[in-house]
């Protein structure tokens, strides 16, 4: 069973292919082939319809005395599926098609009649132009206008293609530039908003030297190394800047007035007891002896 599938057969050493007798076949022998109906047809004997693509076991032969520029023409023999009548058709290389020959007629196919209709229209147009010179002039005018429109459309297409080729090379660059423009616009808007916020903060908060506020007040009036300390004064966002003294409390203003009229007295240091400073508490007699 496996030997029938083997491609390489055994040939003995004394094998001579010239001794094999050749088969004698007629010059125009027929071959059995498997094919499908190339077109829909109707049997002339029984009227049975055979649709396109129906499979048949057909006989093929070469048509003697017919060719198309050296291309051979083949004839096929099939049988009707209902009455088994013989039907023949052959190849048509001129029209790249098949032609029904005997036993069946081809069904009507309107798209195959377009050439005949176009030829009839052309002949009728020529005859009308011969009899009517004005009609011939009108037809020539229409034809020339159609040709000009076609040329204009072709020129537009060529110009558009050339423009697309030029633009296509810089599409990526334009996209990058568009992205950068968008980012720059966003940065500009953010910067403007930040500047407005800073301006509002400067209007609400003012930084002034502490020496202007008070020379003797305990907070924010010290000088270290000859540099003036800076204090931040909160104020309302108005167009007119308020006076610095008006921002201080009443007690501080009174103290500043007294200090300006009379020199500020030296601050007295409170004498601290040594024992209390060391955290020693005396009780009873020890306290009385002290």
What is residue 149's predicted lDDT score, i.e. its pLDDT?
92
Q: Please tell me whether residue 170 adopts helix, strand or coil conformation.
A: coil
Residue 46 labeled ligand binder:
yes
Structural contact between residues 31 and 24, judged by C-beta atoms closer than 8 angstroms: no
For helices 133-168 and 114-131, what crossing angle results, to 10°? 130
**How many Cβ atoms sit within 10 Å of the Cβ of residue 206?**
15
Geometric angle at alpha carbon 195, from 191 and 196, rounded to 5°: 120
Helices (DSSP H) in the chain: which residue ranges? 114-131, 133-168, 171-204, 210-213, 250-261, 274-278, 285-289
Rounded Cα distance between 162 and 150, Å, is: 18
Residue 43 labeled ligand binder:
yes
Residue 80 labeled ligand binder:
yes
By CB neighbour count within 10 A (0-12 exposed, 13-18 middle, 19+ buried), where does 76 fall? buried
Of the candidates 202, 204, 220, the residue with the CA atom closest to the CA atom of residue 212: 220
**How many Cβ atoms sit within 10 Å of the Cβ of residue 37?**
21
Total residue length of the chain? 290
What is residue 61's predicted lDDT score, i.e. its pLDDT?
93
DSSP state of 281: -
What is residue 197's predicted lDDT score, i.e. its pLDDT?
84
Backbone angles phi, psi at 108, to 5 degrees: -70, 125
Cα end-to-end distance, the chain, whole Å = 137
Is this model's pTM higher than 0.75 or not?
A: no
Rounded mean pLDDT for each run of 10 residues along the chain, 290 residues in total: 70 91 80 93 93 94 91 95 94 90 87 78 86 85 91 90 76 66 75 85 63 47 47 54 70 79 57 54 57
Domains of the chain: which residue ranges? 31-108, 109-181
Residue 148 labeled ligand binder:
no
Rounded Cα distance between 134 and 146, Å, is: 18
Structural contact between residues 105 and 42, judged by C-beta atoms closer than 8 angstroms: yes
Structural contact between residues 245 and 235, judged by C-beta atoms closer than 8 angstroms: no
Tokens 């009036």 -> residue:
221
């Amino acid at each position: 069973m496996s030997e029938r599938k083997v491609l390489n057969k055994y040939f003995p050493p004394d094998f001579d292919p010239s001794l094999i007798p050749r088969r004698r076949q007629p010059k125009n022998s027929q071959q059995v082939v498997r094919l499908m109906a190339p077109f829909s047809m109707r049997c002339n004997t029984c009227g049975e319809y055979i649709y396109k693509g129906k499979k048949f076991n057909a006989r093929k032969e070469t048509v003697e005395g017919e060719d198309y520029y050296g291309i051979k023409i083949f004839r096929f023999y099939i049988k009707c599926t209902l009455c088994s009548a013989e039907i023949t058709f052959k190849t048509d290389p001129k029209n790249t098609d098949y032609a029904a020959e005997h036993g069946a007629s081809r069904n009507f196919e309107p798209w195959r009649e377009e050439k005949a209709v176009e030829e009839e229209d052309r002949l009728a147009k020529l005859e009308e132009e011969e009899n009517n010179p004005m009609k011939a002039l009108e037809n020539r005018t229409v034809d020339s206008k159609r040709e000009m429109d076609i040329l204009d459309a072709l020129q537009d297409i060529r110009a558009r293609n050339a423009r697309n080729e030029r633009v296509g090379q810089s599409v990526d660059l334009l996209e990058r530039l568009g992205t950068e423009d968008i980012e720059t616009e966003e940065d500009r808007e953010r910067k403007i908003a930040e500047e407005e916020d800073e301006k509002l903060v400067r209007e609400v908060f003012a930084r002034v030297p502490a020496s202007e506020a008070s020379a003797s007040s305990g907070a924010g009036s010290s000088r270290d190394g000859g540099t003036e300390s800076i204090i931040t004064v909160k104020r309302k966002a108005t167009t007119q800047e308020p006076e610095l003294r008006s921002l201080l409390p009443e007690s501080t203003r009174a103290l500043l007035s007294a200090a300006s009229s009379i020199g500020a007295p030296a601050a007295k240091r409170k004498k601290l007891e040594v024992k209390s400073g060391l955290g020693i508490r005396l009780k009873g007699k020890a306290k009385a002896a002290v």
